[in-house]
Chains A and B, each alone.
Chain A
């Protein structure tokens, strides 16, 4: 019994130490009752950036809907390889190729570093130049591809950028999608966390985030401007996909609404495939130049 207790204590210590330094790559974590706000948020970021998977490959459709209901659509093919490589500090590499007629062939390659202070490196394949342009990373508060999500929301925000307070736990009231009229996550047990940016002044003063206990994903958030007024609501539908016996949480549907303009964005991820053995050679400038359109 004594040995068992020692073993249990060791496991708890290792687990705690592991999370203190950030979760290890290529593991699946779920938030548990009793965890601190920081521990829950470390898992939330881990899930958000698919650090549990070696690679992911998906299609995506984005709908941009303005107040009058006028809708524009963009389609993408997206690839990500997770590296978590200390040697060159690279956390993961993303490749996004647009397949919509008007911007067909436009592609971006982005490398994200493990050091949270380091900005991303991005390359853009421009069909009208038939050339790669190294691009400066747009400011984090800029819109992500014209959507209601910012670059910060989708790509750049890190665990280290905010401070966290656990407000409580509750069963989520449910999110009614304006896109497919379905209600998501009704009565799903969630942690409610207040996230405050360290940067000040910044385009938001706080986020109230609901983290699903089952997937570890941040499913719903309300964003407040510097005057404390709610200006945006973001929803992410996470579903579990079984991959080699592991439960991988995947983002299926994202909805964002800007309450100031009434503009909405719906992003649907399709054909999500994890751990298909993507080669890092696909995430190079050379591969980007092979784009034909």
Chain B
């Protein structure tokens, strides 16, 4: 009865606010289908999503409350093929349903956003160099919109503008969320997890004690971010700093043998190590006449201090520990319209590891190679990453084709053509294909059997 009264009261208040034009809302209903196109075809996804967002202006634009909630159910996981992963993929988990819940206070030069939210840093498109404030949800790899990949966090987002076009941002994040990956049996389970699971099965008679060591609820285990943004001579730039727990656990496994073998205890400690990101970004559009006029250049640079990185033997896909290395990641991108309305975007990035071999005297050199955390394959000391995107539109922007291709200097990558069509004001249809290629030990190559054709039908209101 109490709940009903509360609900009625909420509806009544919303109604009044709406009548006073203080309240705005929107949302969408969406169906996403994906069909595996390699080997045996099966439905990888049949997901129905509902999202609602509402904004309430408490005091004009000075004080605004905003909330966004989302729910989904994926019917594909009811089928035998995927039902093993269903517990974690079928419907929304824990607090994932709450995408945004914050209060904005805007009184120039101050702007405060307090609550659960996402913060995006950097200029890169689809490659996370500086965009490291919110951990990623990679249960569907990097295929969804980035806004659905970032896991929102509770934080204080404090901004101060000492002068026009500049901003100092301080983030205080007492919240922690672990990055997410697909469970065993999902289409996009990472190879590293499959290897770990196979090892567990191999030692099925052993006892596995998996201990999560989440960061303590202490000030020095919170995440802190600082960004300075400014503009010099038509160039926007930022300087960034982030400190906090690395959002992906690093495992240390200890085996205590028992007789008769293979019975024994495996003690797995899952730790979230503290790391720092120092970096910056820039963008510039050439506006003056000349050969570069109309070209946008953008770039990110990050120095990952103490990034926990696995080392081991990539030949057998086995890790022997992790090191906290200082790695670098930089990216440069260029965008330009060619032939009236064809937008060409190009990105080049380099991920540069500090070490080729880990300092672990207990292990032979063959077990001290840097490992790709997703695949337990070899991580190149320098990884060259390329991304090309071409997009345009037809019929007064009703039909929008796009082709993106991302690849590295190894023979692996992803080709994704798609086309979206605006059926009417509210209805958008998208048809696309994600084609993965490469070796199983490479980030994209591990999904070479999961290439998919997909559709999305979105009704917005």
Which residues on A are within 8 Å of B, measured CB to CB?
Answer: 64, 66, 70, 72-73, 100-102, 104, 113, 117-122, 127-131, 133-139, 141-143, 145-148, 263, 265, 279-281, 284-286, 290, 292-293
B261 beta carbon closer than 8 Å to chain A:
no
**Chain B interface residue count, Cβ-Cβ cutoff 8 angstroms:** 61
**Neighbouring B residues of A121 by C-beta, 8 Å:** 234, 285, 287
Of residues 274 to 300 in B, which have CB atoms within 8 Å of A's CB atoms?
A: 283-289, 293-296, 298
Separation of A64 and B395 alpha carbons in the complex (Å): 10
CB distance from A34 to the nearest CB of B (A): 35
Of residues 404 to 431 in B, which have CB atoms within 8 Å of A's CB atoms?
A: 422, 424-426, 428
Question: Is there contact, CB below 8 Å, between B293 and A286?
Answer: no
B32 beta carbon closer than 8 Å to chain A:
no
**Neighbouring B residues of A279 by C-beta, 8 Å:** 108
Pick the contact of B236: A142, A285, A292, A293 (CB < 8 A): A285
Q: Given A286-B159, A292-B64, decide whether A128 and B146 contact each other with a Cβ distance below 8 A.
A: yes
B335 beta carbon closer than 8 Å to chain A:
yes
Question: Is there contact, CB below 8 Å, between A102 and B426?
Answer: yes
CB distance from B153 to the nearest CB of A (A): 13
B167 beta carbon closer than 8 Å to chain A:
yes
Question: Is there contact, CB below 8 Å, between B287 and A290?
Answer: no
Separation of A146 and B422 alpha carbons in the complex (Å): 12
Question: Is there contact, CB below 8 Å, between B460 and A101?
Answer: yes
A-B contact count (CB 8 A): 139
**Neighbouring B residues of A128 by C-beta, 8 Å:** 145-147
A contacts with B: majority SS: loop
B95 beta carbon closer than 8 Å to chain A:
no
Q: Given A101-B26, A102-B428, A117-B288, decide whether A136 and B111 contact each other with a Cβ distance below 8 A.
A: no
Q: Given A121-B234, A133-B125, decide whether A286 and B340 contact each other with a Cβ distance below 8 A.
A: no
Q: Given A129-B145, A280-B164, decide whether A290 and B426 contact each other with a Cβ distance below 8 A.
A: no
Separation of A247 and B123 alpha carbons in the complex (Å): 44
Question: Is there contact, CB below 8 Å, between A147 and B396?
Answer: yes
**Neighbouring B residues of A131 by C-beta, 8 Å:** 120, 131, 146
Pick the contact of B150: A120, A130, A147, A286 (CB < 8 A): A130
B31 beta carbon closer than 8 Å to chain A:
no
Pick the contact of B118: A130, A136, A290 (CB < 8 A): A130
B222 beta carbon closer than 8 Å to chain A:
no
**Neighbouring A residues of B161 by C-beta, 8 Å:** 281, 284, 286
Question: Is there contact, CB below 8 Å, between A73 and B396?
Answer: no
CB distance from B421 to the nearest CB of A (A): 12
**Neighbouring A residues of B288 by C-beta, 8 Å:** 117-119
Besides A66-B396, A130-B150, 18 new A-B residue pairs in contact (Cβ under 8 A), listed by A number: A64-B398, A72-B398, A73-B425, A101-B425, A104-B460, A117-B289, A121-B285, A129-B120, A130-B147, A134-B284, A135-B285, A136-B335, A136-B343, A137-B287, A139-B341, A146-B396, A292-B55, A292-B66
Pick the contact of B285: A101, A119, A139, A265 (CB < 8 A): A119
List 10 A–B pairs whose Cβ atoms lie within 8 Å, in order of A's numbering.
A73-B425, A121-B234, A128-B146, A129-B145, A135-B296, A136-B295, A137-B337, A142-B340, A143-B397, A290-B113
Pick the contact of B398: A113, A119, A134, A146 (CB < 8 A): A146
Interface string of B302-346 (1 = CB under 8 A from A): 000000000000000000000000000000000111011101000
Question: Is there contact, CB below 8 Å, between B296 and A281?
Answer: no
B92 beta carbon closer than 8 Å to chain A:
no
B39 beta carbon closer than 8 Å to chain A:
no
**Neighbouring B residues of A130 by C-beta, 8 Å:** 118, 120, 146-147, 150
**Neighbouring A residues of B100 by C-beta, 8 Å:** 292
B35 beta carbon closer than 8 Å to chain A:
no
Separation of A286 and B106 alpha carbons in the complex (Å): 11
**Which chain A residue lies CB-closest to B126?**
A129
CB distance from A29 to the nearest CB of B (A): 28
B178 beta carbon closer than 8 Å to chain A:
no
Question: Is there contact, CB below 8 Å, between B285 and A72?
Answer: no
B380 beta carbon closer than 8 Å to chain A:
no
**Neighbouring B residues of A129 by C-beta, 8 Å:** 120, 125, 145-147
Q: Taking each of A119, A121, A136, A141, which has the highest tally of chain B beta carbons within 10 Å of its own beta carbon? A: A136
Question: Is there contact, CB below 8 Å, between B296 and A134?
Answer: yes
**Neighbouring B residues of A265 by C-beta, 8 Å:** 396
Of residues 154 to 174 in B, which have CB atoms within 8 Å of A's CB atoms?
A: 159, 161, 164-165, 167
Question: Is there contact, CB below 8 Å, between A101 and B426?
Answer: yes
Question: Is there contact, CB below 8 Å, between A102 and B422?
Answer: yes
**Neighbouring B residues of A73 by C-beta, 8 Å:** 425
Question: Is there contact, CB below 8 Å, between A290 and B460?
Answer: no
**Neighbouring A residues of B83 by C-beta, 8 Å:** none
Interface string of B100-122 (1 = CB under 8 A from A): 10001010100101000010100
Separation of A73 and B425 alpha carbons in the complex (Å): 6
CB distance from A37 to the nearest CB of B (A): 26
CB distance from A55 to the nearest CB of B (A): 15
Question: Is there contact, CB below 8 Å, between B53 and A72?
Answer: no
Separation of A117 and B147 alpha carbons in the complex (Å): 37
Q: Taking each of B159, B234, B285, which has the highest tally of chain A beta carbons within 10 Å of its own beta carbon? A: B285
**Which chain A residue lies CB-closest to B117?**
A130
Separation of A112 and B28 alpha carbons in the complex (Å): 35
Question: Is there contact, CB below 8 Å, between A137 and B285?
Answer: yes
B229 beta carbon closer than 8 Å to chain A:
yes
Separation of A285 and B26 alpha carbons in the complex (Å): 24
**Which chain A residue lies CB-closest to B283?**
A134
**Neighbouring A residues of B18 by C-beta, 8 Å:** none
Separation of A11 and B236 alpha carbons in the complex (Å): 45
B383 beta carbon closer than 8 Å to chain A:
no
Question: Is there contact, CB below 8 Å, between A102 and B425?
Answer: yes
Separation of A113 and B234 alpha carbons in the complex (Å): 12
Pick the contact of B341: A120, A122, A138, A281 (CB < 8 A): A138
B393 beta carbon closer than 8 Å to chain A:
yes
B461 beta carbon closer than 8 Å to chain A:
yes
Question: Is there contact, CB below 8 Å, between A64 and B164?
Answer: no
**Neighbouring B residues of A284 by C-beta, 8 Å:** 161, 164-165
Question: Is there contact, CB below 8 Å, between A142 and B287?
Answer: no
Q: Given A134-B283, A146-B396, A292-B55, decide whether A141 and B26 contact each other with a Cβ distance below 8 A.
A: no
**Which chain A residue lies CB-closest to B28?**
A101
**Which chain A residue lies CB-closest to B294?**
A136
**Neighbouring B residues of A119 by C-beta, 8 Å:** 285-288, 293-294
Interface string of B13-26 (1 = CB under 8 A from A): 00000000000001
